[in-house]
Structure 1
Amino acid sequence: MVDAADAIDKARAAVSERAELPGMSLMEHLDELRRRIVHSAAYLIAGFAFAWIFRIRLLHFLQAPLLKVGKSLVFTHPMDALNLYLYVALLAGAIVASPFILFQVWLFIAPGLYQKEKRFVWPFMGATVTLFLLGAAFGYYYVLPGAIKILVIDFGHDFTPMITIEDYSSFFLSIILGLGISFELPILIFFLALFGIVSPRFLWKNIRYAILAVFIVAAVICPSPDPWTMCIYAIPMLALYVVGILVAWWVHPDRKRSKEAAAS
């Protein structure tokens, strides 16, 4: 409870300090938000148009885990095939455009940051995109094939599978997007620590709750009840939590103040 109260007090202090920064009026904020949304939408459309050129290759890439076990997609509605092409082009286009969209997000929040904090823009963008791609790759190359093998081959060998485009697309997106977002944990901790909301000590003290949460997530995404398989999915996320603790130690305001006090 003391740690939580300290975290709240530090967050309030950080907010009060930032209130002293030169600010914009409400209308200026709304106008800036509109500008960033318009730019982000333009980048997303450009990414979609670029990905549409490679839609057939992208479709083969999406179906590859299923084709490896000798299964293929079926559709039950005349629009399903077209919708799948649109889906893969939009998903790939969003990934291509993500660095530019993240830069727009950064431009929106940058006026509320100190000059010394703005230097994190390129590491932030690089780390965010890299971690998401690592999570998506982990899902595509390990989780998705394992899930298909267990669910379709092992448990479904006595039945005739009819995997529709709609069902497979939802299943694919839930794994890839879910793991991609899960791998952003160090980035979330980075911002919470930067603003003084959490501290390395708080994160380390509550690591047992983090372990519990990670294994709950692993149990949801893991297709097998086997504890060893579950551990394979949980270990990368636990490693990212530990990395987040190190990141929190690096950027937390208390460390900076201690370093400045020691230097003076």
Structure 2
Amino acid sequence: MTRTERTTRSSREARAPKSGKPRDGRMSLGAHLVELRKRLFLAAIAIVLGMIAGWLVSDWVLNALRVPIEQLAEEQGRVASLNFTDISSAFDLRLQIAFTVGVVVSSPFWLYQIWAFLMPGLKRKEKQYAVGFVLSAVPLFLLGCLAGWLVMPHMVVLLTGFAPQDTTALISARTYYDFVLKLVLAIGIAFVLPVFLVLLNFAGVLSAKAILKSWRIAILAITLFTAIATPAADVMSMFLLAIPMVILYFGAAGIAFLNDRRRAKRALALDAELAI
């Protein structure tokens, strides 16, 4: 290699980026993997710190979970208790509570890490949709989880009421916690479904007319869901849970209608420009 070639090669290496990003701004596969590892590591640290906080409040969570058990014992006049079936079940349950609380508490941080990793690959309009989805979905999900927590005691009393009289309700602590967690998450996700309708509309997959056309089916599905999630005798709780879900459904239809009208006006303006 001549002296001139060595000088040219050295100058190219000096100009080459050291961050793994080519001059056009795109990242290589190796740089993507390094970035992903970094984001996952930070998210894991946040979850671990949240688990420490969850462990500290696990006593409060267990006491809150025992309230429906005490309520059914009082209302049904039977012996009811929360049981730990083996030696490590109490410790395992506390770990599960700590993990659940840790994921919830640290969710803003690890959601940001996911967003920061995906953001460079999104277009401007896609970023706007993603921001709008997160800002609307997270509060609705938390509101749905709160609603699920409020109807959970009614579910416990209802389902245990099918047991014969003069029997004892010995409820496994871990099974009971799994039931409560699934119920709360199910209602939380149900509150987020209208956001998916809006997202599909903005993506051009679903029109407002199609959403409104299915309003009877939607109300029937919401009524069946709330009837399952609340005792049949407690009609007020069923309506308190169904009313906000129906409002969210028609709210999603209204937003989709405004978006369809804006899209139609834009199409007419474009056709007018092309006709000139």
TM-score (norm 2): 0.72
Deviations 1:217-254 (A, max 9, x none): 3344344387776555433322222222233345x476
Contact 1:73–1:162 at 8 Å: present in 2 too? yes
> Residue 45 of structure 1 aligns with which residue?
48
Quick one: structure 1 residues 248 and 26, their matched pair in 2 at CA, closer, same or farther if it must change by over 3 Å?
A: farther
> Residue 187 of structure 2 aligns with which residue?
179
**Partner Cα distance (1:23, 1:72) in 2:** 59
**Partner Cα distance (2:95, 2:130) in 1:** 32
**How many residues matched?**
241
Q: Secondary structure at the match of 1:127?
A: helix
**Offset at residue 161 of structure 1 (A):** 0.7
Quick one: structure 1 residues 37 and 245, their matched pair in 2 at CA, closer, same or farther if it must change by over 3 Å?
A: farther
Q: Secondary structure at the match of 2:166?
A: coil
* Equivalent of 1:139 in 123, 143, 148: 148
Quick one: structure 1 residues 189 and 73, their matched pair in 2 at CA, closer, same or farther if it must change by over 3 Å?
A: same
Amino acid at match of 1:255: R
More displaced 10-residue stretch of structure 1: 60-69 or 184-193: 60-69
Deviations 1:55-90 (A, max 9, x none): 222222233333344443111111111111112111
Q: Which has the higher contact order (CA 8 A, sep 6+)?
A: 1
Deviations 1:7-46 (A, max 9, x none): xxxxxxxxxxxxxxx9766666655555444433332222
**Partner Cα distance (2:91, 2:71) in 1:** 23
Contiguous gaps of at least 5 residues in structure 2: 1-24, 74-79
- If you compute each CA radius of gyration, which structure gives the higher value, 1 or 2? 2
Quick one: structure 1 residues 260 and 34, their matched pair in 2 at CA, closer, same or farther if it must change by over 3 Å?
A: farther
Contiguous gaps of at least 5 residues in structure 1: 1-21
> Residue 82 of structure 2 aligns with which residue?
73
Quick one: structure 1 residues 228 and 115, their matched pair in 2 at CA, closer, same or farther if it must change by over 3 Å?
A: same
Q: Secondary structure at the match of 1:183?
A: helix
**Partner Cα distance (1:89, 1:216) in 2:** 33
TM-score (norm 1): 0.74
**Offset at residue 178 of structure 1 (A):** 0.9
Q: CA RMSD in A?
A: 3.3
> Residue 94 of structure 2 aligns with which residue?
85
More displaced 10-residue stretch of structure 1: 88-97 or 113-122: 113-122
Q: Secondary structure at the match of 1:162?
A: strand
Contact 2:144–2:188 at 8 Å: present in 1 too? yes
